[in-house]
Each structure stands twice: as C-alpha cells, then as structure tokens.
Structure 1
Amino acid sequence: MDRDTALAGAAVGVTVLTLIAVVIVPGVLADPTEDGPVSPGPTDISETSISYDESAVRGETVTLGVETRVRHSGNPTPNVTLLVRAVDAESGLVKTTQTVEVGTLRDDGETAVPTNVTVERAGGYHIETVLFQDNRRVDRAAKTVRGLEALTPTYARTPVVFSDRAALPPLSVSVSDTASNRTTLDLAASLTNTGDAPSGDLAVTFVLRQADSNVVAARTTSSVGEIRPGRTATTTATATVPSGYNYYLDAVLTRDGVVVDTARTAANLDPTRRISVNETEQAVEFRVEDFEMDDTENAGGQQTEAPEGTATSQPGFGVAVAVVALLAAALLVRRQHR
C-alpha cells in the first residue's frame, strides 16, 4: 500500500467518525459561543417624573412619588438596581435614600419603576435617580422640587376661604355704639366655599390689636354655619374697645381648631391719625423643574468665558506704540542713506 492510499483511507476514516459523532452526540459541531456567556443589553434612564398624593401631605412631611422609566434593549440585563435619593437644595445634604431592586430586564422597551420618598414639607430638594447594573453605575438623572411649604396638609385642607373681591372685602368694620370712652364695633367676615361639597365645623376668631402698642384690646369667636358649594356667606360678631385709638383687625378661619386661612384690615378710631394695612406677600407654589448641573459637570468641561489674549483683548503695547516704532525705523533708514 503506497503513501497516498494510506492518507486517503485515514481521511475517509476521520470523516466517518465525525458523521457518527454528529448522529450520536447532537450539537457536537455547534457554535461553541452559542451556550457561552453573552453581554447584557444596554439600559438607561429615559424619564423621571415626580408627583404627590394629597393624602400624603402631612404637617411636617410629604411623601413624593418618583416614577423612573428604565429603557432596555438587546440581550437580557440582570442585576439592575435603582437608587433614589433626596438632596437638600440649600445645604446639599442627602436627606433620604431608597433602593429598588429592578431585577432582570428581558424585553425591549421601557419599564416603570415607582419609588416613594418622604421629605420635610419645607424648601426644595434635588431628587436624583442612579441606575446600576451589577453594582456598576450606568446612568443618572435628576429633577428639582421647590415650594413644598405651599402644599396644604390633609388636616388643614378646606375649600372655604376669605372672599377677596373689590365689592365684597374679606373683613369689614363699622361703629355700632360709643359711650364712656368705649366704642362697640360690628365685625363681619365674608367666606366663600370654592369646593364641590357643603362645608362645616368652621369658626372665625376676630382679634383687635392697638396699632401702636400691639396690645390685644378684644377677642371674640363666631361660629360659621354650613356654606353650600360656590356660595358666599357672612359671619358677624361684636367687640368693644377703648375709643380714640387705631386698631388692626385680624381674622383667623379655623376648622376643628386648625388654622386654614387668615385676613387683616384696619379700624381707624383716632380722628387725627389713620393707619392702613400695607403688606407685600410673595406667593409660594409647588413646582417641579429640571435639575441644573454644576459647571464642572458640563459635557466635555467646556469653558464659556473667552480666553485671554483674544482679538478684542490683546495683550501688548497697542497701536500707538507700533506707529512710533515704524517712525523710528524710517528715521534710522534715512540716516544710514546719508
């Protein structure tokens, strides 16, 4: 048997053995990477929204609902974790932190991850969400909430407020009687029910303070009857104070002992001097806004200020010195030609 015949026989034998192995052991020729480890698909934070439930607004705290939408595509991504923290907008201190185990993301698309964060009902906070995969940070997003003190606690919520109309002021004062240096005043407060249900369990406390000394001269409380939705009602009371003085009249609307609204006006009983109520109030409202990143976190760390030595601010001696130099050079050339 020559060498070529032996090689051909060996090749045929190897082929036969391979075919037998394929039949007996399926998958022996499969791609070795088919059952091996695969890279997890990309995932990031697509959107963050913040809301609150009125029932979650308490006297000192409020619970914010933070919904983070996590986007995923490609291969399954295991061990996904979301960290949500509230950072005080003024001090920069972390006030609270919540961690949510998202698990494994398999489907393409977005997954909503809800989280509740309880903070003090005052000031503002940066609500930061950080996405981790296998304890590795992969994305971050943030929003800012401000004006939390404007949220009304559940116990103080009522649709009844002091009316604020030019023709129907919230408070009015008139003189009922004057005798023995004492003046009796008729006090009235106008209240409007802005809600959808009748009101109840309300009272108005009238407090008269002498304008110069701030001494309380009289205090009286009047119960408020039921006010139907959209209606305005007036509650009245009387108070007697020393004559010849000016007074501030404060009215406090309470529900079951809880202050829900206030109003103020002036009562001028001094004929030689008058006072008025001049108060500047700044409305505070709850709002959610995008988080403003620090300058050190700008993309690429680009500078916004123009570098020194630009065309508009060139260091050196200026145009005048250049003209002097040209004149000196011309005189030197002229002297050399002589």
Structure 2
Amino acid sequence: MNRERLLTAGAVGTVAVALLVAGVVPGVLAGPDSREVVRPGPVQIADAAVAAENVSGATVDLRVETRLRHAGNPSENVTLVVRAVDGDSGLLQTTRRVDVGTLRGDRETTANATLSVEREGGYRIETVVYRDGERVDQGRTTLSGLSALQPPYARSDVTFAETDALPELSYSVADAGPNRTTLNVSTALTNGGDTAPDDLRVTVVARQAESNVVADRASVRVGSIRPGRTVAPSVRLTVPEGYNYYLDATLWRDGVLIDTARSTANLDPSRTISADETREEVEFEVSDFESDSATDGGRPTSDPTRLDTQAPGFGPVVALVALFSAGLLARRWAA
C-alpha cells in the first residue's frame, strides 16, 4: 500500500468518525448563532380611555381601556396594573391587575380593567406595564367632576326651564291682607326628551331671608309632560307681609329629586335681596392620556441625576478656621 492510499484511507476514516459523532451527539455541528438569546420586542402604551359604567348613588365603575403597542420578537408574560389614586388626598383607592399574556408581531392589543370608586371628587388613573416582572412603560390620566354623573334613577329629561321670556320660577301677589300676603308662585317645566314621564311633583318653599325660617310650603302634582312641551304648574303660599323671602322649588319623580330652582320675593320695600345663585354645573371630565416616561426600545428611561454642587458643612466658620490655621503654620515656618 503506497502513501497516497494511506492518506486517502485516513481522510475517509476521519469523515466517517465525524459523521458518527454528529449523529450520536445532536447539536455538535450547530453554529454559535443558534444558541443566542432572542430579545423580546418593545411594549409601549399607545393610548388609554376611561368610561363611566354602573353609576349608583355612592359609587361608579370606571372602565379603563388601554391600547398596547408591540413590535419585533414575541414578548411573554405581559401584565398590566391599573390603579385609582384620590386626586385630593393622594391615597390609593383600588388596584386591578390584568394578564395580557404573550404579544407577537407588529400590532396593537387592547387590555381592559374596571375600577370601582366613590362617586365624588376626582381621581388619578395610573397604568403600569410589566414584561416578565420588569416595568417597561407607564402613563396616567386624571378624572374630575364624578359627582355630576347621575345614577339611572335620578336621570330625567324634564327640568326647570329658564329663558328671558319664561323664568323657571316667578310669583305674583294674589292677596295682600293686613298681616298676611298670598303669593301665586308659578314654575316652568320643559320636557327635552323623547318620552313622557309621569308621577312628577313640584314643591315650593318660602323661607324668610334673615332668619331662614320656613314661612309656608306647598306641592302640586304635574302628571305627564309630552316630549318638547312646557307646562307652568303653580302653587299658592301665604306668608307674613313686610319681609323678604327665598323661593325654593324642587322637582320630584317617584320620590327622587331630579332638579331644583330658586328665586326671591321682595315684600320689604326698604330692602331687597337677590337669588344669589352660586350653583355651578360641574361636568364629568377626563384628561388626555399622559405618558410618565420616555421609552427607548420599550423601556422607560430615567432623567439624568442632578448633582448638588454645594458641599455640606462648609460655611463661613470653617473658612475662618482655615485662615487661622494657615496663619499659624506660616508663623511656625518663619520661626
């Protein structure tokens, strides 16, 4: 056997052994790229919206809809934490955790959470996104005027009408006796809805302005008001003459107070009062969504730390001590 045959046989043997090892031990021939860790794609809050649901006399359910934007490689174990913080006290009211799961591809996903809070004041809704337990994004939105949300039993399309030609509450003197005055108080009610509610009742109270004592009260049943119609029910009140009065009217439906109105009756010629209305309509308001952090690849980036350039403990006293020490040292060297 010559030298060439020996070399050929050795090469064939080496290849055979390599093939045998590759078949017995899988992954020996795998390249280094196959063992690289795949980084998950970024997850960010794209938008958030809040809706009021299930309004009751004391509480309201806030439905928080958060849209998450994802791109790149799959992101596993994504969770959302939504909490309501009292706008005045800063105390945490309630928290909800939503498991989003795995996000794949370049798309947006919606995650919903419902928070039950008291129907008063305002709140700050904070949303935090976690990926595998790591915070990757957060945002907030504020709510105000929750008390303006009416429960279903208090909603009505019938209200006191107020126009220049037809005030919501007016009066005329029906009888002026030596000590008593009878007032004919008229109210104006308008149905701005599409149905005709029944069992409506108006109550008018006359309160003496200085003492706040109720001089007289009366009620009248209105019945049903057709859509788009205005009616003017009236009552008669007998009060002591020579005084000024506040006239307070309340509209009731099935025992529920649904609207109020106020006016004045000036029966004292030497002094007059005004209705002095301070009532203000405060609507339920939701602020725009605000992101609390800038994101870089799906991760919030913190602001640079500000350095305090003033060293603690170095004041005028220390400076004087330093000068005195330097003088002593210079005198010692001179000696």
**TM-score, length-scaled by structure 1:** 0.80
> More relative contact order in 1 or in 2 (CA 8 Å, sep 6+)?
2
Task: Tell me the CA shift for residue 144 of structure 1.
Answer: 0.8
Q: Which amino acid aligns with 1:219?
A: R
Q: Distance in 2 between matches of 1:166 and 1:235?
A: 18
Residue 324 of structure 2 corresponds to which residue in structure 1? none
Residue 220 of structure 1 corresponds to which residue in structure 2? 218
Deviations 1:76-98 (A, max 9, x none): 22111100000111221111000
Q: Contact between 2:139 and 2:290, CA under 8 Å: does it hold in 1? A: no
> Helix, strand or coil for the counterpart of 1:57?
coil
> Helix, strand or coil for the counterpart of 1:254?
strand
Residue 241 of structure 1 corresponds to which residue in structure 2? 239
Q: Which amino acid aligns with 2:133?
A: N
> Helix, strand or coil for the counterpart of 1:277?
coil
Q: Contact between 1:162 and 1:170, CA under 8 Å: does it hold in 2? A: yes
Which residue, out of 248, 251, 257, partners 1:250? 248
Task: Tell me the CA shift for residue 34 of structure 1.
Answer: 4.2
Residue 198 of structure 1 corresponds to which residue in structure 2? 196
Q: Distance in 2 between matches of 1:11 and 1:99?
A: 64
**RMSD value, Cα:** 3.1
Residue 283 of structure 1 corresponds to which residue in structure 2? 281
Task: Tell me the CA shift for residue 170 of structure 1.
Answer: 0.3
Residue 50 (str. 1) matches residue 50 (str. 2): yes
Q: Contact between 2:220 and 2:235, CA under 8 Å: does it hold in 1? A: yes
Task: Tell me the CA shift for residue 184 of structure 1.
Answer: 1.5
Deviations 1:223-261 (A, max 9, x none): 112111121111111121112211110001112222111
Deviations 1:122-179 (A, max 9, x none): 1111101101111111111111111111212222111111101010000111111123
Q: Distance in 1 between matches of 2:279 and 2:302?
A: 40
Aligned residues: 302
Quick check: 62-71 or 18-27, which moved more? 18-27
**TM-score, length-scaled by structure 2:** 0.81
Q: Distance in 2 between matches of 1:189 and 1:287?
A: 31
- Structure 1's unaligned 5+ residue stretches are 308-338
Q: Which amino acid aligns with 1:90?
A: D
Q: Distance in 2 between matches of 1:139 and 1:74?
A: 17
Q: 1:151 to 1:301 in 2, by over 3 A?
A: farther
Q: Contact between 1:126 and 1:291, CA under 8 Å: does it hold in 2? A: no
Residue 320 of structure 2 corresponds to which residue in structure 1? none
Matches within 5 A, 1:168-179: 168-179=166-177
Q: Which amino acid aligns with 1:172?
A: S
Identical aligned pairs, as a percentage?
53
- Structure 2's unaligned 5+ residue stretches are 293-299, 310-335
